[in-house]
Structure 1
Amino acid sequence: MSWSQRSVSIFKVTTSPMINRLKLNHLPDTKISVTNVFNINLNAYIPAFSKPNELVPPTRLGFQFDRRTTLCILAGLVYNKRVLIAGKHGTGKSTHIEQVCNRLNWGCIRINMDNYLTKSQLIGKESLIFQHRCSVVKFKYGLLPWALRRPIVLILDDYDVCTPEVKSIFNKLLGENGEINIPENGRVIKPNASFRILATSTTLFGSQISNFRENSAHLDKWNMVINAPKLSFNQELKLVNQITGKATRENISEKIVKLARMLRRLQDKGKLSLPFSVRSLLSWAELTIILNSIGEAFKYAYLNKCKKSDRLLIYEKYTEVFGSTCSIRCG
């Protein structure tokens, strides 16, 4: 049986009545073509929701769907697989998931898995409330039970920064049944038929911004791990042109991308401390239009974030590409 033939049969669990409060559809009620929607040459049709809701991410026009990453995300959504996308910050890992969800009208929420996130925030805790003029101790559910009961995609951002204590909560959630236990009240929360969980990670093996090395047993619970793709020069140029306008600023766009990739190579060689992410590239392009100055935009989008010891080398490369360290007026 092909992927497209099996895609509808996986949605068959009864849903929670709590969803009615958000007026969300429980199950996908239509199918879309992978070729037509994602520009990927694959004869397959994916379950989707015919109408958007308030949890569907906004559309980013012109978004470029990488084939491998898109197919992994779609496999996670269609077959309820756990997908972890690893790659440098600012490469659009979470945005890629959001834009796939956008095309499917599949609601999603993002949770930043930083060091300050606690078990009580995720699972819930007992709270003292006043009911009928009496104080009563009642368990208040956290983010995970709320999300688990709904037909949404839960995106765990910066999963590698999450503490081992908090990460242990997801051991059972990442299992085949995808449920969680609430020890405080003895409840077992079962997932909605259309609940999915995906995550992004800067690295799997620890780095300066990743405080905890990934446990191999826990990592094994993720069905699919994919490395975020690196965009080519032409792909980055296309993104910048969508902001600056290809007709009047094509040459400027090429120089912006050229300098960004030049600085990126220097960072890879250890000569610069701050990487030039795709996020910084797009921010530079947007600020160029807002401030009507390439130099000023570059300073605010990237240069001011760098160490003072790196700035001389950055100025040299800027001069090499643009011919001057002064602000350049956009024509």
Structure 2
Amino acid sequence: MTNDVPLTRPDVRLEAREVFGIDSNLVVSGFAEPAEHVPEIDEAYRFNPDVTSALLAGFTHNRRVLVQGLHGTGKSTHIEQVAARLNWPCVRVNLDGQLSRLDLVGRDAVVLREGRQVTEFQEGIVPWALRRPVALVLDEYDAGRPDVMFVIQRLLERDGKFTLMDQNRVLRPHPSFRLFATANTVGLGNLNGMYHGAQRLNHAQIDRWDIVASLNHLPAPEEIEIVRSRVTSFADDAGREQVAAMVALAQLTRKGFEAGDLSTLMSPRTVITWAENVDIFGDTALAFRLSFLNKCDDAERPLVAEYFQRCFGRELDGSRALAATA
């Protein structure tokens, strides 16, 4: 990571209705030309209006935005695709259990300078991003370790200044630095047993986020079109009918999860994976077993097989055997 800091600021104004296809009169800031770390545009991506409006407020008005939702709903992708259309550099950091405070802040390291070993401070991702026109996205925000979370808390203050204790320096954020996060819960921890590793978060820290947006499953027609846009072999009328049945099955698993009948559910990501596997194996039932059924608890598989029968009008291969062993 270099120490030269670009002074670039947004230099164009864009109409949200035209760029993102949402019903909004928002005019947002962006960059005329893409730079390093700008994500690639996915032309098939469909934007959730509420979440898009929240993210655009984050980019244009420097609001800290937390996007919460179930796994596989595309929280991080949503942020990236907004950044891509604004030509705003975007860097993602996963707050898994292995990420330490030193990874975020930086540490002393031994380097070679003119053939001699010297100790030099290597800055972490936070000070690097803070000094640049970059959108820093903290993925799995509710899985971060306590020491990591307190490093982040200072960034959530109104002025966002960051102190490097080892360097006796106070960093001021670049005018175009932005901060976002994604989480499966809103700091409530692993209440339903679905998200192992999710931590209960300090309410004072959650309160520092200016905007909390919720991104969950799309309406069936939109989910169908997203799957078809990702897997082009389903672009014809027969493909639409098949994907509609797949999405209907996914929705049954979500209702079953909400009712406590299932311990897992099909995310939109899983539906796309299933469609891709149908392309590979040429068999809808086999692809379903490999994409989702084998992830389910043995006792729940007969119910999932029943969902398949209801949506496709035929039994899932081996469903009788599943019922016999249940």
TM-aligned CA deviation for residue 197 of structure 1: 0.4
Q: Does the Cα contact within 8 Å between 1:81 and 1:224 map onto a contact in 2?
A: yes
Residue aligned with 2:269, SS:
helix
Residue aligned with 1:27, SS:
coil
Aligned partner of 1:295 in structure 2 is 285
**Partners of 2:89 and 2:236 in 1: CA distance:** 33
Amino acid at match of 1:324: E
Amino acid at match of 1:273: S
Q: Determine whether 1:51 maps to 2:33.
A: yes
**Partners of 2:263 and 2:56 in 1: CA distance:** 35
Q: Determine whether 1:18 maps to 2:4.
A: yes
Q: Does the Cα contact within 8 Å between 1:66 and 1:229 map onto a contact in 2?
A: no
Aligned partner of 1:161 in structure 2 is 143
**Partners of 2:16 and 2:227 in 1: CA distance:** 26
Instruction: Provide the TM-score with structure 1 as the length reference.
Output: 0.88
Q: Determine whether 1:284 maps to 2:274.
A: yes
Counterpart mapping for 1:78-227 below 5 A:
78-204=60-186, 205-207=188-190, 208=193, 209=195, 210-227=197-214
TM-aligned CA deviation for residue 131 of structure 1: 2.9
Q: Does the Cα contact within 8 Å between 1:18 and 1:149 map onto a contact in 2?
A: no
Q: Select which of 313, 316, 324 maps to 2:315.
A: 324
Residues 17, 213 of structure 1: CA spacing in aligned structure 2 closer, same or farther, 3 A cutoff?
closer
**Partners of 1:220 and 1:268 in 2: CA distance:** 28
Q: Does the Cα contact within 8 Å between 2:137 and 2:180 map onto a contact in 1?
A: yes
Matched-pair identity in %: 34
- Of 47-56 and 250-259, deviating more is 47-56
Amino acid at match of 1:256: M
Amino acid at match of 2:153: N
Amino acid at match of 1:194: S
TM-aligned CA deviation for residue 133 of structure 1: 4.1
Q: Determine whether 1:238 maps to 2:225.
A: yes
TM-aligned CA deviation for residue 232 of structure 1: 0.9
**Partners of 2:235 and 2:5 in 1: CA distance:** 43
Aligned partner of 2:298 in structure 1 is 308
**Partners of 1:180 and 1:127 in 2: CA distance:** 21
Q: Does the Cα contact within 8 Å between 2:250 and 2:266 map onto a contact in 1?
A: yes
Q: Does the Cα contact within 8 Å between 1:85 and 1:93 map onto a contact in 2?
A: yes
The C-alpha deviation readout for 1:46-65, integer Å capped at 9, x for no partner, is 11111122311122222221
TM-aligned CA deviation for residue 102 of structure 1: 1.1
**Partners of 2:281 and 2:90 in 1: CA distance:** 34
Residues 124, 285 of structure 1: CA spacing in aligned structure 2 closer, same or farther, 3 A cutoff?
same
Aligned partner of 2:321 in structure 1 is none
**Partners of 2:34 and 2:282 in 1: CA distance:** 36
Unaligned runs of 5+ in 2: 319-326
Q: Does the Cα contact within 8 Å between 2:250 and 2:265 map onto a contact in 1?
A: no
- Of 71-80 and 311-320, deviating more is 311-320
Amino acid at match of 1:278: P
Residue aligned with 2:166, SS:
coil
Amino acid at match of 1:221: R
TM-aligned CA deviation for residue 267 of structure 1: 1.4
Q: Determine whether 1:255 maps to 2:241.
A: no
Instruction: Provide the TM-score with structure 2 as the length reference.
Output: 0.89
Aligned partner of 1:3 in structure 2 is none
**Partners of 1:211 and 1:264 in 2: CA distance:** 21
- Of 199-208 and 223-232, deviating more is 223-232
TM-aligned CA deviation for residue 218 of structure 1: 0.9
